[in-house]
């Protein structure tokens, strides 16, 4: 217990007590945006905390059920990004861009009638959250970047180098999967097997890997690949790309949560934290890329301290 910060102690204790009970039933709906409808799911009560999923070829379901633990204290609002999960509308690749994603997020905020909101972005979702905060700083009350994707082309290269080093011992198996006809056409079992090997290099305990939802349809996989390729062309695949200078202009209270075993190297997260004035960096020990599963207690505690202290 933190006797020097009774507000944080009370918050943490109430969260832990609430966590032992079953969470309330979620509420779901669709938000109309340009040429699409975004699926959203909310659960819990209290401070609204909008959760942006990673990928960009994933949807929000890989965060469940573990992220729902935070619903003991927060009103969690998940959504599926354009073209993903249960969001509706014809996939128009010409409309897929980070700018459109930010417009979609602004449309979601308006629909939910939130003057400002706390945002939690995981992995790729962290990048979307940073870009949204840069464009709409007055709409973001708090920013939580969990295992965030990098903020520059140079750091993206570091991520690729780290992943290649970790997967070197699995290269033969990965190459066999990636070059197979099943993988090419998006066979769900083959693609899930590929990702289990990749994610197994950033999750230390097998039981945590088993908790990760890697269930997709063939259509999900093929759409996700097309979306990811489209987005990366204007971001990480562009030499010289960076948003670090823009992050220096932010004044939003920011928490950066990272694992010391994440395949996104800690220095990438540190550079984000250093760029945002006053940002706090919390590096979790023996934790990889899915900290909400691997270090759930520590994640709840650092988030509780963050909101109690700002």
CATH number of the CATH domain containing 32:
3.40.50.1820
Q: What is the C-alpha end-to-end distance of the chain, expressed in Å?
A: 19
66 falls within a domain: yes
Q: How high is the pLDDT of residue 59? A: 96
When pLDDT is cut at 50, 70 and 90, the band that residue 310 belongs to is low
CA atoms 281, 237, 101, 291: torsion sign: negative
- Asked if residue 151 lies in contact with residue 244, where contact means CB atoms within 8 angstroms, the answer is yes
151 falls within a domain: yes
Domain range holding 193?
A: 6-309
Q: How high is the pLDDT of residue 155? A: 97
127 falls within a domain: yes
CA atoms 121, 127, 133, 136: torsion sign: negative
Which residues neighbour 212 within 8 Å (Cβ) at sequence distance 6 or greater? 62, 199, 203, 290, 293
- pLDDT at residue 3 tops 80: no
d(CA 201, CA 289): 10
18 falls within a domain: yes
Q: How high is the pLDDT of residue 252? A: 97
The number of folded domains in the chain is: 1
What mean pLDDT do residues 100-111 have? 97
pLDDT in tens, 217-266: 999 999 999 999 999 998 999 999 999 999 999 999 999 999 999 999 99
96 falls within a domain: yes
Q: How high is the pLDDT of residue 115? A: 94
Query: Whole-prediction pTM value?
Result: 0.91
What mean pLDDT do residues 12-21 have? 46
Which CB contacts under 8 angstroms, 24+ apart, belong to 4-10?
A: 5/305, 5/308, 5/309, 7/308, 7/309, 8/304, 8/305, 8/308, 8/309
1 falls within a domain: no
What mean pLDDT do residues 115-130 have? 97
When pLDDT is cut at 50, 70 and 90, the band that residue 23 belongs to is low
Q: How high is the pLDDT of residue 60? A: 97
């Amino acid at each position: 217990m933190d006797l020097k910060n009774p507000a944080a102690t009370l918050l943490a204790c109430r969260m832990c007590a609430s966590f032992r009970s079953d969470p309330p039933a979620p509420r779901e709906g669709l938000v109309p945006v340009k040429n699409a409808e975004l699926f959203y799911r909310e659960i819990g009560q209290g401070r609204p905390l909008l959760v942006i999923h990673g990928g960009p070829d994933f949807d929000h379901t890989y965060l469940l059920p573990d992220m729902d633990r935070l619903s003991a204290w927060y009103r969690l609002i998940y959504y599926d990004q354009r073209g993903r999960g249960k969001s509706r509308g014809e996939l128009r690749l010409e409309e897929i861009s980070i700018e459109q994603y930010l417009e979609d997020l602004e449309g979601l905020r308006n629909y939910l009638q939130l003057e400002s909101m706390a945002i939690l972005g995981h992995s790729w979702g962290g990048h979307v959250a940073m870009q949204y905060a840069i464009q709409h700083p007055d709409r973001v009350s708090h920013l939580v970047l969990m295992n965030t994707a990098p903020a520059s082309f140079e750091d993206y290269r570091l991520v690729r180098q780290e992943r290649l080093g970790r997967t070197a011992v699995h290269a033969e198996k990965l190459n066999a999967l990636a070059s197979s006809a099943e993988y090419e056409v998006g066979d769900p079992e083959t693609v899930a097997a590929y990702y289990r090997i990749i994610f197994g290099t950033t999750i230390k305990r097998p039981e945590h890997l088993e908790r990760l939802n890697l269930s997709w349809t063939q259509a999900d996989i093929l759409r996700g690949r097309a979306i990811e390729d489209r987005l990366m062309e204007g971001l990480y695949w562009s030499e010289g790309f960076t948003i670090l200078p823009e992050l220096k202009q932010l004044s939003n209270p920011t928490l950066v949560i990272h694992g010391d075993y994440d395949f996104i190297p800690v220095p990438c997260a540190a550079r984000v934290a250093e760029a945002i004035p006053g940002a706090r960096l919390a590096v979790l020990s023996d934790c990889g890329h899915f900290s909400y599963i691997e270090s759930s207690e520590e994640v709840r505690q650092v988030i509780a301290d963050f909101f109690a202290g700002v």
